Chain A
Amino acid sequence: MNIIETKNLTKFYGKIRGIEDLTLTVKKGEIFGFLGPNGAGKTTTIRTLLGLLKPTSGEAFILNKNIENNIVEIRANVGYIPGELALYEHLTGKQFLDYFSSLRDTNLSLLEGLLETFELPLNRKIKGYSRGMKQKMGIIQAFMDDPPLVIMDEPTSGLDPLLQQKFYEFLHSEKKKGRTMFFSSHILSEVDKICDRVAIIRDGRLITLENIDTLKKKSGKIIKLKIKENPSKFKGAKNMKIKEGWIEFVTSDNINHWIKEISKFTVLDLKIIDFSLEDIFIRYYEEEF
């Protein structure tokens, strides 16, 4: 079952492209990574899905309901952590939660547990909260009424490393419960760590959508070596570069062939490295693929 489905979803701000022809599906129970640098269209996609922006063309379905005419019903079943999280600063944490629970008008079955995991000084005004505390409040309000889908726009910004770790663990446990999560980020390592599939967008367009493991396999290995002879004598793959005496190139298959090639030289040092998502990301962005 698809939890989110977009078909050629397009949003232009006048002549400026926000997103164009975005077609993707998010399946039930997965953590879907939505990766792209700042300004790639991640927030535009999310805010269009939630009815804050009107799509220029194309359509989108959340929980099998068209966002055009069922947005209020959709909102009742979707938790959301905005990228630029702004809370009602004049309220205390408790007043804020009271207000939002009255708006949700449903059983907040997870609230207590969340408050144990992400401790907050509820009697203090939100104005006095640190950035991390505010972000915790953002997390709590998104999950508290146990929605089947949570959309998060760069949710780890503002969290210290310890809290980030806690949050990743929390997401894993939520995934086990079957919750679907849409996770936008520009930080590759975290997407690598927690997501099942990842969509990479650039300039408002979807570049690739793959399982993280497939993506890594497809992208092959990086071979780095230093030889005694002049590095330019070595004939590596097309993408070969020479940097500070290191010969560097990427190969997706046939390691054996390269070992044989390398053995023709006097090898001073050799590294064969698995592609990290970071490398894939950089390559996509440099348009080398």
Chain B
Amino acid sequence: MDDFDINKILRLRIAFQTIKDYWKITIIITILFVGITTLYSAMFPAFKDMLTEMMESGFAEGFSFLRGIEDMGSYVGFLNMELYQIFWIMILGIILGFLSGAVIAKEIEGKTIDLLMSNPVSKKQIIFEKFIGLIPMVLIVNFGTMFAVFGITIAINEELNFGNVFLTHITSIPYFLSIIAIGILVSVVINEKMKAGIIMVAIIVSMYIFESLGNMVPNYEAMGVISITHYYNPYDTLKFGEIDAVGMIVLSVIIVWSLIIAMLYFENKDITI
């Protein structure tokens, strides 16, 4: 077994390099999400009446698997549906999954792993530091979007509990970190970055589908438990300020175990080039 020298790891050199490497893409994703947020939120006043009508006509019943859809006529419900459920949970999840799925695989595929591991670093340390190195991306996109929500809400003069929005973004951190941790696990198993990224996207989409089916089909609610989206519900936090504590614990356990399994797997893996 490689040694896990905490003093060396705390210097976080690989993590810092990872942050630098992902700096540009972090900015791009942040701009993208700020843009989407602005676009969708700004549309709300124009759609307001139509949405209220749609909700009254029972439109939402067919989409009962989407949490909070019945509330789409209100600003908070609209934000939940258009921004958080689709772009936040799904699209950002896919983007982060794709990127994290490639994070180790690209070093193996690009053969830079040989030189990286000629330095006094252990395989466990590489996993740990790559994970740490991707955290700032989650935080920056997360809070960038949050401030965009604040700004646009003030600009269009709608009612929104900013405290709840803040809480929603804070509680989304374990959700996104669990995606990154699973992505890193996939990344140490699959040696090609494109393949690893795509597999990760497939995993997230399938989990989303499972969760939706579980919500939609009676007696099949249990299906959703295998999906990480089951453990993070922005609507409850956004609307009522409720936090799914159990969900957050489950997500934390997923993060820790994904990283531990990734470390053990990587430790025993032959790095063939």
Contact = CB atoms under 8 A, between A and B. Distances in A.
Contacts, number: 80
Chain B, interface SS category:
loop
Interface residues of A, number: 33
A85 B111 CA distance: 8
B2 interface: yes
A138 B115 CA distance: 9
A268 interface: no
A88 interface: yes
Chain A, interface SS category:
mixed
Contacts of B57: none
A52 B13 contact: no
A72 B122 contact: yes
B273 A84 contact: yes
Nearest to B271: A52
B1 to A, nearest CB: 6
B13 A72 contact: no
The contact size tier of chain B is 20 to 34
A241 interface: no
B115 A87 contact: yes
B112 A87 contact: yes
Interface string A70-92: 11110110111010111110100
Given A13-B272, A90-B21, A80 B118 contact: yes
Interface of B: 1-3, 5, 8, 11, 13-14, 16-17, 21, 110-122, 268, 270-273
21 contacts: A13-B270, A13-B272, A47-B271, A51-B117, A52-B113, A54-B268, A70-B3, A73-B120, A78-B118, A82-B115, A84-B111, A84-B273, A85-B115, A87-B112, A87-B115, A99-B17, A102-B11, A103-B14, A105-B11, A141-B115, A142-B118
Given A47-B114, A71-B2, A73-B3, 15 more contacts: A13-B270, A52-B271, A72-B5, A75-B121, A80-B114, A82-B111, A82-B114, A82-B115, A84-B273, A90-B21, A102-B16, A103-B13, A103-B119, A105-B120, A138-B115
